[in-house]
Amino acid sequence: MRFDMNLGETAFLLIKEGRKDIELRVNDHKRQKIQVSDLIFFHSLENEYDVIKCQVKAIHHFNDFKQLYENLPLDRCGYEDIASASYKDMYEYYSEEQIREYGVIGIEIEKTDDLYLVDGHMHLEYGPLSVEYVKEFADEAIRKGLDEIDILDHTHRFKEFEGCYQHLKQYDQQAEWLKQPTKFCNTLDDYYELIEKVKKMDFPIKIKFGLEVCYTSNTEDLLKKILKDVKLDFLTGAIHSVNSILYDMSFSKDLLWDRYDKNDIYKMYYDEALSCARSSLFDRFAHPDQIKMFNIYPDYDLTETFNNLSQELNNQNMYAENNTGCHYRYGHEDIGISDQLLKIFKNNNVKLICASDAHKPAHVGSFILEATKRNRGIF
Ligand SMILES: [Zn+2]
Ligand SMILES: [Zn+2]
């Protein structure tokens, strides 16, 4: 069985560096289920996608931390200086009542690996909001060895957001596109109902649910009103249009790329990206350089733009996606974000999450291993 636990930065690094292999916890209901040979995935509190995977070797039970501290080797429990160790240190994390009620455990662990494979972006868009359909995505993810999938349908699936797309209807092609049966066909309650069912089931991988929100600065106020009541695991902000014109459609060449200067399009796109981050509405920013999808590039250097975006994402504690959809869905040569953008994100310590942008189960996990390795500088 797999268990997920969060760890503060100091303990996380000690385990990562092999200097701690006993984790101390109160033996609460969750912990009582842990058995020898189970897996524990420790997530850094600073970046939940920084994960150490461990296997449980032994579980040592004690009445309280005083007894535990007298019996276990404290240098393996996270103490560099054993002389300064006191069982009272654990009161920072647990109350005396909790300790009395549950007792405590020392979980002896062995690090297995630290390559946590998450596909943070996939759509149920072309199928029903059903458990069976989610299972198809999960099965593919398990087949590809992923540890987590994050489902995030577009806001244009949900009736609540219809008003946010009015401005696109000034162009006939976009008005037609919005009339497709996959648009505004469900309510958020339909989505919540599905999520509740899935969360009650036992999947061997983690499944999170969010929304890919089509952000524009013009609709920010409206989005704010709707999103304040939305309760999901995460919200991803995405720029899909500039100046009320979608940039990534077959008709976009006609409406946008042939009519506007490419430098202006890039400036508009990244201005919107900065507003999106500044809005404080989102946990993640989708496909940050998807504007490159037709291989049209500006004449000016994007370094300053990418640095500004990095800064804003960091200010808002947001993750940036390394989204591989551009590669296998649109045939762009980059497997994810460009080397230039990746380098700038890494220099600025922007938190990254990998994403396939799968629109059908078979595409789940596409190039996620490659993207994960690129994020870590492994080529
Ligand atoms: Zn998108
Ligand atoms: Zn998407």
N- to C-terminal Cα separation, the chain:
32
Give the tens place of pLDDT for each residue, 107-134. 999 999 889 999 999 999 999 999 999 9
Q: Is 105 exposed, middle or buried (0-12, 13-18, 19+ CB in 10 A)?
A: buried
Ligand 1 centroid vs 212 CA: distance in angstroms?
7
Give the tens place of pLDDT for each residue, 162-200. 999 999 999 999 999 999 999 999 999 999 999 999 999
Residue with tokens 């704010």: 224
Q: What is the mean pLDDT of residues 260-276?
A: 98
Residue at a domain's end among 113, 137, 168: 113
Whole-model pTM? 0.94
Domain identity same for 279 and 170: yes
* Per-residue confidence (pLDDT) for residue 80, from 0 to 100: 87
Residue 3's DSSP bridge partners are: 40
* Per-residue confidence (pLDDT) for residue 258, from 0 to 100: 96
Domain identity same for 28 and 151: no
* Per-residue confidence (pLDDT) for residue 313, from 0 to 100: 98
**How many beta carbons lie within 10 A of that of residue 157, not counting itself?**
23
Range of the domain at 144: 118-375
Domain identity same for 152 and 54: no
Domain identity same for 206 and 62: no
Based on the structure, what is the number of domains in the chain? Answer: 2
Domain identity same for 12 and 103: yes
* Percent of the chain's residues with pLDDT above 90: 96
* C-alpha torsion sign, points 105, 108, 112, 115: positive
Tell me: pLDDT of 379 over 70: no
Ligand 1 centroid vs 213 CA: distance in angstroms?
8
CATH of residue 174's domain is 3.20.20.140
Ligand 1 centroid vs 161 CA: distance in angstroms?
16
Domain identity same for 32 and 153: no
Ligand 1 centroid vs 286 CA: distance in angstroms?
6
CATH of residue 54's domain is 2.30.130.30
* Per-residue confidence (pLDDT) for residue 376, from 0 to 100: 87
Residue at a domain's end among 113, 144, 166: 113
* Per-residue confidence (pLDDT) for residue 70, from 0 to 100: 96
Q: What is the mean pLDDT of residues 317-341?
A: 95
Ligand 2 centroid vs 203 CA: distance in angstroms?
23
Domain identity same for 28 and 15: yes
Domain identity same for 277 and 362: yes
Helix ranges restricted to H, the chain: 9-16, 29-32, 65-71, 96-102, 131-143, 172-177, 188-200, 220-227, 252, 262-278, 303-315, 325-330, 339-347, 368-375
Q: Is 119 exposed, middle or buried (0-12, 13-18, 19+ CB in 10 A)?
A: buried
Domain identity same for 247 and 105: no
Domain identity same for 195 and 308: yes
* Mean pLDDT for the chain overall: 96
Domain identity same for 73 and 143: no
Residue at a domain's end among 83, 113, 143: 113
Ligand 2 centroid vs 311 CA: distance in angstroms?
23
Give the tens place of pLDDT for each residue, 53-100. 999 999 999 999 999 999 999 999 999 888 889 999 999 999 999 999
Ligand nearest to the CA of 152: 2
Helix, coil or strand: residue 106 = strand
Q: How far is CA 320 from the centre of its chain?
A: 9
Domain identity same for 221 and 176: yes
* Per-residue confidence (pLDDT) for residue 378, from 0 to 100: 64
